[in-house]
Amino acid sequence: MTLLFAFLHHVLAFVLVAALAIELVLVKDRISIERARRILRADAIYGASAMLLLVVGFLRVIFFEKGAAYYFHSIPFIAKLLLFVAVGVLSIYPTMTFLSWRKSLNRGREPVLDPAVIKRIRKLIHYELVCLVLIVLAAAMMARGIGYWG
């Protein structure tokens, strides 16, 4: 069971990064109806993978690995959690913007975006990706016992 949850955790992390990368590629100057629908799908996959990743991660911490007492005495683990929260907070504006397109799309219209909004969304996605890279660094540190104070 430990192997299965470790596998799920890693696959979900890859899905999350892939969905975010797809969003970055698709968010450009002009967003057609089809492109907007793809962005909405990618964002839904991103959100679902983030939630499942969090659940699977906590199940691993509590039931399948070294236990919560160990992990909550690990600075890299706490850093991972805080970075994950940061990714979630950074994703609020892009997701709310994408969701605001639904009415236009249902009426068969392209979403109209100010270039500054597109620039802001792309910048936020870049920040999310940086945080995800830092999460991988924290995971590598955690796996080597760096920063454990128990």
Q: Is the dihedral of CA 97, 80, 3, 56 positive or negative?
A: negative
Q: Which pLDDT belongs to residue 63?
A: 93
Q: What is the distance between the alpha carbons of residues 75 and 59, in angstroms, rounded to a whole number?
A: 19
Q: Which pLDDT belongs to residue 65?
A: 87
Per-residue pLDDT of the chain (150 residues; tens, 9 = 90+): 899 999 999 999 999 999 999 999 999 988 999 999 999 999 999 999 999 999 999 999 999 888 898 899 999 999 999 999 999 999 999 999 999 999 999 999 999 889 999 999 999 999 999 999 999 999 999 989 999 987
Q: With b meaning 16 or more CB within 10 Å and e meaning fewer, what string describes 136-149?
A: eebbebbeeeeebe
Are 148 and 74 in contact, with CB atoms under 8 Å apart?
A: yes
